[in-house]
Amino acid sequence: MAKIAVVGSGFIGRAWAISFARAGNEVAMWDQAPAATEGARDYIAGVLGDLEANDLLRGQAPDAVLARISVTPDLGEALRGASHIQENTPEKRDVKREVFSLIDGLAEADAVIASSSSALLPSTFTDHLAGRHRCLVVHPLNPPYLIPAAEVVPAPWTSPETVERTRVLLVDAGHAPLVMKRELDGFIMNRLQGALLEEAFRLVADGYASIEDVDIGIRDGLALRWSFMGPFETIDLNAPQGVRDYVERYQGIYENLFSQMQRRVDWAGPVLETVEADRRAKLPKEKLVERQVWRDRRLMALAAHKRKSEEDIGK
Amino acid sequence: MAKIAVVGSGFIGRAWAISFARAGNEVAMWDQAPAATEGARDYIAGVLGDLEANDLLRGQAPDAVLARISVTPDLGEALRGASHIQENTPEKRDVKREVFSLIDGLAEADAVIASSSSALLPSTFTDHLAGRHRCLVVHPLNPPYLIPAAEVVPAPWTSPETVERTRVLLVDAGHAPLVMKRELDGFIMNRLQGALLEEAFRLVADGYASIEDVDIGIRDGLALRWSFMGPFETIDLNAPQGVRDYVERYQGIYENLFSQMQRRVDWAGPVLETVEADRRAKLPKEKLVERQVWRDRRLMALAAHKRKSEEDIGK
């Protein structure tokens, strides 16, 4: 197993530490604010207990996983011997540029340097580096120890070997990497999410549907099949002769809809009053944190269910 | 409990019969082709066995549910005493207009007449009817006995009472109705699906992602949270202060993406070669039917899991 350095010990850094350590890797966490790092291991211990309760620790005891996670105030020590570095500092281009300079100067010659950035293209903060060929983005959804998908996004100068080593590391850690051919704003997942959200806000703004109607249509409708097949396999199975048959039968309908979707509704405009009023009526602001705990419990139960279904029924 | 008439005994008609009968309603099925109707009860018996195995029959024996489903070659007999009629004939405007004329003439005075149409607006095939105030669309995803969401779509002349009675009937049958304020092409679910598919095809056509990358991003990523929360609750929980905070932080990113999404890729163009080649490499055409059986088993297991999670962790 490898040594992984996690740079930045906030929510995402801690979650990556759990994911990598669960897979058997040694993890060294570093943060420029020692206070942040200090709370990290206690927080992680709590999560590991929940994961064990859902049989999501690969049969290991929480303590055994926790023992593989260390925290250090010394960046050089965190990076020493690490073959993969996962960076989780704030989403600001200048911050990332500086942090990557620092890491590139201190890391082992053959280490891969990955950023968890969700919004910055890797080319915008790695162009100046001697080791830019070994830099890329690995963007998770939160929390990565419960959501397998992670986007691997190369800059134009990222070497194929860097991409491949990262892909293998992620698969070994139980992740499902999406390997982009080249970088693009929003990567894959936020583009898909954005396309759907634009239509959702438009339907609400135009008075056709409520917030709850949209959420029902996804959580009690479309996302059931999507949650174990994805959208392409879904349409492939939704016409007798497969995806070509589906396109021949139904593209006309979608083409007509697309032409109605060219107008953008300002999410922060009047529609936001409706969206916020509906959401706050269902969930008062003071219950948001409690509901996030509920969400993560549901995600854990779903992860356990999917693993069992893949074993019992097939993947 | 009510008597429901199911008009058209194809795949969707049979599935509705199961859903309504499971909830305790008497169901009378009719088809203009007696041969189609004859196979229907055998088919339904098979599905009921699978549902029982997943504890999805509300504790009833399959035979008890099947006993509530009758088939008749006489439309008048099927409609007699029925308070709700669910029509499932081919998606052709002329066919629907004729069938609706027939039903409107024969049905009880206070019966609701619903079409399962996925593509036709209710106004386009009910405008000529004396009883057009009691007509609407109730569009399910397939199969409705496993997928709760169903879209209720009124024509401009559909009475509020018709909409409300339909909503209550669906809720009693364990469905999660989306009640549209007024009709719109594609309703809600196909518009959301279409928006997402357009971006999926564009990402593949432009060479950024593979079919499999898109499917991973949804099935191992976005659709996990969506499958129990929907997209609005997801973003509401994805910023510390809720959905307003989310919009203030991230709308800029999505606005930029939207401006890149105005170009439509022809799904039947060169991209279809890629999509079809990738899908057929993963699943040969002769295995499509087998995979549909797998899909329905996974859907059943997921339905059972969701019910249990709602009980254990909360809805």
Do residue A173 and residue A193 come from a single domain? Answer: no
Evaluate whether residue A300 is within a structural domain.
no
Helix, strand, or coil here: B39? helix
Q: In this prediction, what percent of chain B has a pLDDT beyond 90?
A: 95
Q: What pLDDT does A241 receive?
A: 95
Pairwise CA distance, residues B217 & A202, whole Å: 24
Residue at A247 is within a domain: yes
Q: Which of B148, B198, B213 sits opposite A188 (nearest CB)?
A: B213
Give yes or no: residues A125 and A237 share one domain: no
Residues of A numbered 162-201 whose beta carbons fall under 8 angstroms of chain B's beta carbons: which are they?
176-182, 184-186, 188-200
Mean pLDDT of A38-45: 89
Give the residue from B158, B179, B200 where a domain finishes: B179
Question: Is B293 inside a domain boundary?
Answer: no
Residue A146: both structure tokens together: 């419960």
- A26's enclosing H/E stretch is strand A26-30
**B256: closest chain A residue by CA:** A185
Identity of the residue in A200, A231, A261 whose CB atom sits nearest the CB atom of B215: A231
Sole residue written with tokens 């959804």: A141
Which neighbouring-strand residues pair with A150?
Answer: A140, A177
**Do B148 and B253 lie in a common domain?**
no
DSSP conformation class of B122: T
Residues of B in contact with A180 (CB under 8 A): 208-209, 213
Give the bridge partners for A115, in sequence order: A87, A137
A154-169 pLDDT tens trace: 999 999 999 999 999 9
Bridge partners, B69 (sequence order)? B27
Look up the CATH number of the domain holding residue B193: 1.10.1040.10
Distance from CA of B28 to the nearest CA of A (A): 26
Give A42: exposed, middle or buried? Use CB within 10 Å, 0-12, 13-18, 19+.
exposed
Closest Cα in chain B to A227: B219
Structure tokens at A194: 């954005």
Query: In this complex, do A179 and B213 lie within 8 Å of one another by their Cβ atoms?
Result: yes
Domain co-membership, A170 together with A193: no
**Rounded CA gap, A10 and B80, in Å?**
66
pLDDT value, residue B36: 74
Pairs of residues, one from chain A and one from chain B, whose beta carbons lie less than 8 Å apart: 364
Instruction: Record the tokens describing residue B257, joined without a space.
Output: 């993406």
Interface test with B, best of A152, A153, A191 (most B CBs within 10 A): A191
Residue in B220, B243, B251 closest to A276 by CB = B243
Looking at residue B118, what DSSP letter applies? S
Residue at A294 is within a domain: no
Quote the domain boundaries for residue B74. 3-179
pLDDT of residue B2: 94
Mark which of B161, B179, B197 sits at the end of a domain: B179
Q: What is the pLDDT of residues A264-303, one digit of tens each?
A: 999 999 999 999 999 999 999 999 999 999 999 999 999 9
Which chain A residues are Cβ-neighbours of B217 within 8 angstroms? 149, 151, 178, 188-189, 192, 230
In this structure, are B263 and B174 located in the same domain? no
The single-letter DSSP state of residue A285 is G
pLDDT the model gives residue A32: 85
- Counted domains in chain B: 2
CA distance B74 to chain A (A): 30
**Are residues A229 and A106 both part of a single domain?**
no
Residue B37 clears pLDDT 80, i.e. is over it: no
Q: Are B48 and B194 in a shared domain? A: no
Residue A172 has pLDDT above 90, yes or no: yes
Mean pLDDT for chain B overall: 96
Q: Are residues B197 and B170 both part of a single domain?
A: no
Interface test with chain B among A218, A245, A266, A302, by most B beta carbons within 10 Å: A218
Domain stop point among A141, A159, A179: A179
User: Could you tell me if A11 lies within 8 Å of chain B, comparing CB atoms?
Assistant: no
> To the nearest whole angstrom, how far is the Cα of B76 from the nearest Cα of chain A?
33
Residue A55 counted as domain residue: yes
The CA-based angle B204-B206-B207, given to 5 degrees, is 65
Minimal Cα–Cα distance from A39 to chain B, Å?
Answer: 19
Region of A59 please: left (phi>0), alpha (psi -120 to 50) or beta. left
Question: CB distance B242–A280 less than 8 Å?
Answer: yes
| pLDDT tens string B111-160 | 999 999 998 999 999 999 999 999 999 999 989 999 999 999 999 999 99
* Residue B53 near chain A (CB below 8 Å): no
| pLDDT the model gives residue A33 | 83
B150: domain CATH number? 3.40.50.720
For residues A148 and A225, state if they share a domain.
no
| Residue of A233, A257, A279 with shortest CB distance to B236 | A279
Q: State what percent of residues in chain A have pLDDT above 90.
A: 95
A180, A217, A261 ranked by CB distance to B208: nearest: A180
Which whole number is the average pLDDT over B289-315?
Answer: 95
Which chain A residues are within 8 Å of B292, Cβ to Cβ?
A: 237
Inter-chain CB proximity B196 and A227 less than 8 Å: no
Indicate whether A87 and A212 sit together in one domain.
no
ipTM: 0.96
Q: B287 and chain A: CB distance < 8 Å anywhere?
A: no
Average pLDDT over residues B33-62: 90
| Residue B145: predicted pLDDT | 96
A255 has a chain B CB within 8 A of its CB: yes
Q: Are residues B86 and B145 in the same domain?
A: yes
If you write DSSP's letter for every residue of B86-152 in order, what string do you get?
EE---S-HHHHHHHHHHHHHHS-TT-EEEE--SSS-THHHHTT-TTGGGEEEEEEPSPTTT--EEEE
- Please give the residue of chain B at the shortest CA–CA distance from A256: B185
Find the range with the poorest average confidence among A5-19, A36-50, A98-112, B251-265.
A36-50
Structural domain contains residue B16: yes
Do B75 and B25 lie in one domain? The reply is yes
CA of A119: how far to CAs of A124, B200, B240, B276, B308, in Å? 11, 19, 18, 31, 37
Identify whether A289 is part of a domain: no
- Give pLDDT tens digits for B242-277: 999 999 999 999 999 999 999 999 999 999 999 999
Report the residue from A141, A268, A313 with minimal CB separation from B248: A268
* Residue A194 placed within a domain: yes
Map tokens 């109605």 to a residue. Answer: A260
Give the Å distances, CA to CA, from A73 to A30, A78, A91, A215, B311: 6, 8, 22, 44, 44
